[in-house]
Structure 1
Amino acid sequence: MHPFSPRHPLLPSRIHALGASVGVAAALALSGCASPPPAPSSQRPSATLPATAEAAPQATTCPKGLPDNTRCLSGKDSAGAFYMIAIPPNWQGTLVMHSHGGPALGAATMARVLEDIDRWNITVRAGYAWAGSSFRQGGVAVRAAAEDTERLRRIFVQHVAKPEFTLLHGQSWGASVAAVGASMFTDDGTGRKPYDAVLLTSGVLAGGTKAYDFRLDLRVIYQHLCGNHPKADEGQYPLWMGLPAGAKLTQAELRARTDECLGLGKPAAQRTPSQQRKLDTITRTLKIPQNQVQSHLNWATWHFQDIAQNRTGGRNVFGNIGAQYRGSDDDATLNRSALRYAAEPQAVAAFGADTDPDGRIPVPVLTVHGIHDPTAFVEMEDTFRRTMERAGTAGHLVQTFTDDGTHSYLHDPIYVTLFATVIDWARDGTKPTPAAIAQRCPAAEAAFGKGCKFLPDFQPKPLDTRVTPRS
C-alpha cells in the first residue's frame, strides 16, 4: 500500500507520520488511460541466477536522515557485494530495489552503499523499504550488477519479508543496470515477475556502445588542443584505451594538466586568451558545460581503462571514423589533425551484449530526466524509446522530463510522485500521461518541499544531434 495513492487510503496515524493529508492523497489522483500491452512473444527466457546459500542480514545502526524507528539491516552476499536494507516504521509492503550510478572503480565497499542510502533516503521517508547493493565489483559491468541486485532481492524475500510490490529503481549508470536487469529477470521461479515495475532516473540509457562516444571525442579534441594527455615524452597509446595497463597517472596530476592547458582550475577572468579559446572549442564542439569537462575527461581516462583492460581484452569499442567535428575556430584543421580510431566489431558486440538494454521489459517503465543534464544527455532518452519500440514494448514506457540542469539528484517531490505513479500504473493498469504526472506532483510538495519542474510537452531530439555522428 502506497502512502500517497488515492487508491490506498491512509490511516490517521500514517498521515501524521508522513506530514501528508487526505487532501494530498486526493490531489494525487490524476492519471491517464490505456493498459500496458502484454509482453512480446519474442521476449527472451528469464535469466537464471544460481541459487546460493545466503546468510541472513544483521541488524545495524541506521544512517542519519532516515525516519525514527527505521529498521536497518546489512550484510555481504555470497558474491562479495555489500548491501543495506532500510524498512520504515510505517512500511506498507512496497520494496524499492536500488541500482546505483557510477560505476565506481575498485573493490566493493560498504561506503558506496551508505552514500546511496544517504542520497536516496527520500525512498524511506516516503514509506517504502529500500535495498541497495554495492555490486560485487567496480567498473563497467552491467549484467553482473543486475545479478547482484537480483541476489539482494532474494535475500530480502528469504530473510526479511515477502513484499507485496517490488519496484526496481535505477539511477544514472544504474538505470542501465535496471533496464538490463528487468529484461534478464522476468520470472522468480514461481511464475511471478520478480519486479512489478521499473523507475529509471537520469539514466545512461543509450547503451555502452553509444553513450560514451562523445568521451572519445573529448580525448581526441583535448589531445589536439593540448598535447599533454599523454605528454610527448610519455609512452604513447591509443586514446580509446583510457590509459595503458599499469599507468600511474592520478586524478590530481590530470587536473594539473587540464589547468595548464585550459585553465579549468581558474576563474574565467584569470585564464589566458589561449586557454579560453581552447576551452571554448571543447564546449562548443562537444556541447558540454565548462564545469563538466574535467569530470568527463576523468571518465574518458579511468573508465575507458577499465573497459579496455577488464571488459574487452584490450580490444577497441570506441571509434570516430567519419566523425566531422564542428564548433572550433578552424574545423578543417581540427578534423584533419584529430586522431582517428576504428572500433572492432567483435568488441563492440561483446560490450553491447553486456551494457546495451534490449527493451524487452514486461512491466511498466517510467523514466525522468532533467533536460539540461550535463552528465547523461537527455537525448539518450530518445535512444531508449527507440529501443523499446524495436522490442515491441513501447506501450510499457512513459517518459517524463524536468527543467533541471543536475544529474545526481533532482527534487524530493519529483521522486515521490514518480514512485506513486508507477506503482499505481502497475497495480491497476491505468497508464499515466506526462501531463497527469505533472499535475499530480504539487500535492507531494506539501510534505516534501518545492521542486516540481515537470515539462509534459518536452520531447528529446535524437542522440546524434548532440553527439557527433560517426561511421
Structure 2
Amino acid sequence: MALVAVLAVPVSSASAAAADEPATTPCPADLAGVATCYTGRSTDGAYYAIAVPEKWNGSLVMHAHGGPDLGEESDPERSIGDLERWSVMVEQGYAWAGSSYRRGGYGTRMAAADTESLRRLFVENFRKPERTYLHGQSWGGNVAAKTAEIYGSKKSRPYDGVLLTNGVLGGGSRGYDYRVDLRVVYQYYCKNHPRPDEAQYPLWKGLRAGSTMTTTGLRARLEECTGLSAPPQERTAVQQRNLDDILAVSKIPERTLESHLRFATFTFRDIVHNRLGDRNPFSNVGVVYSGSHDDAALNAGVERFSADPSAVRDLSYDSDLTGKVSIPVLTLHAIDDPTAFVEHEAAYRATLRGAKRDKYLVQTFTDEHEHSGLSTSEYANSISALDTWVRSGRKPTPTSVAASCSAFDARYGTGCLYRPSFVPQPYATRVNARPGGLSWPALTAQQEKKWSRLPMVGIAP
C-alpha cells in the first residue's frame, strides 16, 4: 500500500491557480465564429488549449491525447492540433480543454495529473461547468480512464462521465506485449536491429540509450529485411518470407507494421531508460510463437528475457487500470483498429467486471478500419449519448446508441457504422499470454501484495 505515496503525481489547487492565465488566440478554422479559444502554460510546464463556444451548453469536455509523444518538452502545438481534430465537440456546444502534458514520454499518472490540473484551471478562470466529461483517444484512453479512477470518485465529483475512443485499455504491464513479441520476432528474422557488427543490447530496451537511430533509419532496416513498401512482385523471396512470418506470428497488420516497430523501438527506450532507470518490465519467457514456416526453429532461436518484478510493479502502478470507477463510461472502438486492437476492450470489460463496476460500462463498436480518426457523426453521437446517460440516469445500449447516430449524420454526413451485436474476443486470443503471469483483472492487487517490500523507484514525473 506504500505505492500510492511514492509514485503519485500530486495536483494542488495552488499550482493550478499560479499557472498562466488563458490568453485568447485564433481558433482553428472550423471554429471561427463558433467559439473563443485560449492557450497558456501551466506551472508544471504543460501547454494547453481551451475553447468556449458562443452558445455554450454549460458542460466541459476534458481531452486526454494519445501517443505518447517522445520529446522531453511540452509541445505547444499539440493541444492546438487536438482542438482542431476534436472541434466537433465544440460545435456540439461543449467547452473543450486539452493539455499537451508537462513533457513527452511515457507517464500515465503524470498525464492524468496534468489533465486534472487543467480542469481546475478552467474552473478558476471561467466557471464550474454543469457537467464535466473526460475524453481519451488511443493512449489517451488509458490516461482518461486512469484520471477517472484517481480523481473521479472524490467527494467533489469533478467528473460526470468518460468517453474512450479506440483506447489502449490493456494497461502498460501487458498492453504492449504484442510489441514485445514483434521486437524479438523481427530481430530473429532480420538480424539488423541491431546488426551483428553494432553494439549489442537486450531487446527489451527497444534501443540502446545512446543510439542516434532515427525513424528514417529504422524504416530503411525494415525495408531491407522485408521490402515492406515495395509491390510483392518486387520483393525477393527472402524478403517476402520474412514479411509473411513476422506478420503471421505477431498478428500485426501489414499497414501498421512500421508504426508498431517504431513503438517497440523508441517508446520502449523511453519507458525502460528514461522512466524505469533501465529496469526491464517485459517478459517473453514461456511464450510459444506460432504461425511461421518453422515454429520450432523460431521458438528455439528467439531472444528470451524475464521482467524485473520492481519494474513491472512500477509500470503497473502507473498505467494499469483497476476498474474502480463510479461514473458512466462509454467506449467507441473500430473493430479493425490496426493499432489498438479491439481486444483491448475485452481486457477493459474484464477489469471492470473484476471490480464489480461493469454496470457503469457501455461499449460500442463500428465497422471501421482506422485508429486515429473515426466518423465525425459517431463522435458527435457518442458525446451526446454519454451526456444523455448522465443527465437522465438511463443507461443506453449499443443498439440505442447506434440508433441515435442518424440525427448527427444528417449534419456531418460521415456515416454511422455501428455493429451493435459485436463482442470482442478475449485479449489472450490476440496477444500471447505470459505463462506464470498474474491473472487479469486481479493484477494490481496481487502485485501490491507481492512486491510491496521491494525498493521503489517509479515512473519519473
TM-score by length of 2: 0.90
CA distance in 2, matches of 1:131, 1:269: 49
Partner of 1:78: 43
Equivalent pair of 1:245/1:309 in contact (CA under 8 Å): yes
Gaps of 5+ in 2: 436-461
Contact 2:163/2:383, CA 8 A, preserved across alignment: yes
Q: Which residue of 1 aligns with 2:221?
A: 257
- The match for 2:190 among 218, 226, 240 is 226
Corresponding residue to 1:62 among 27, 31, 52: 27
What's the offset of the Cα at 1:271? 1.1
Alignment size in residue pairs: 426
**Structure 1 position 424, deviation (Å):** 1.1
* 2:12 is the alignment partner of 1:50: yes
Partners of 1:62 and 1:71 within 8 A in 2: yes
Equivalent of residue 96 in structure 1, options 24, 45, 61 = 61
Hey, what does 1:114 align to over in structure 2? 80
Letter in 2 for 1:254: L
Aligned to 1:24: none
TM-score computed with the length of structure 1 as normaliser:
0.88
2:169 pairs with 1:205: yes
Deviations 1:136-160 (A, max 9, x none): 0111100000000000001110002
- 1:239 counterpart (181, 200, 203): 203
Tell me: CA distance 1:47–1:241, structure 2 relative to 1, closer, same or farther (3 Å). closer
Alignment of 1:3-22 (within 5 A): none
The match for 2:230 is 266
Higher relative contact order (CA 8 A, sep 6+): 1
Shift of 1:66: 1.5
Per-residue CA deviation, residues 151-194 of structure 1 (Å, 9 max, x unaligned), is: 00011100022211111000000000000010111366xx4311
Shift of 1:69: 4.1
| Partner residue in 2 for 1:3 | none
CA distance in 2, matches of 1:90, 1:464: 46
Aligned-residue identity in percent? 49
Structure 2 letter corresponding to 1:50: S
Q: Is the 8 A contact 1:403 1:453 kept in 2?
A: yes
Give the counterpart letter for 1:54 in structure 2: A
SS of equivalent to 1:248: coil
SS in 2 for 1:380: helix
Q: Greater CA deviation, 287-296 or 63-72?
A: 63-72
**Equivalent residue for 2:453?**
none
Residue 290 (structure 1) shift: 1.1
Which residue, 98, 107, 122 being the options, matches 1:141? 107
Q: Distance in 2 between matches of 1:450 and 1:257?
A: 38
Separation in structure 1 between the aligned mates of residue 431 and residue 318 of structure 2, nearest angstrom = 22
**Counterparts in 2 of 1:278-297, with a 5 A limit?**
278-297=242-261
- Contact 1:105–1:139 under 8 Å retained in 2: yes
Q: Distance in 2 between matches of 1:413 and 1:160?
A: 29
Is 1:248 the counterpart of 2:212? The answer is yes
Distance in 1 (CA, whole Å) between partners of 2:247 and 2:81 is: 30
**For the Cα contact (< 8 Å) 2:289–2:298, is it kept in 1?**
yes
Q: Which amino acid aligns with 1:433?
A: T
**Post-superposition offset of 1:48:** 5.5
Indicate the SS of the match to 1:65.
Answer: helix
Deviation of 1:68 after TM superposition, in Å, equals 1.7
| C-alpha displacement of 1:124 | 1.2
1:283-432 correspondence to structure 2 within 5 Å: 283-432=247-396
CA distance in 2, matches of 1:443, 1:62: 26
Instruction: Please give the secondary structure, in 1, of the residue aligned with 2:82.
Output: helix
Aligned-partner SS, 2:29? coil
How far apart in 1 are the matches of 2:150 and 2:409? 36
Paired residues of 1:367 and 1:400 also in contact (CA < 8 A): yes
- Counterparts of 1:369 and 1:269 in 2: how far apart (Å)? 35
- The 1:197/1:264 distance shift into structure 2, 3 A limit, reads same
Does the 8 Å CA contact 1:323/1:469 hold for their aligned counterparts? yes
Once residues 357 and 433 of structure 2 are traced to their aligned partners in structure 1, the CA distance between those partners, rounded to angstroms, is: 27
**Alignment RMSD (CA, Å):** 1.5
Give how far 1:269 is off: 2.4
Alpha-carbon deviation of 1:55? 2.9
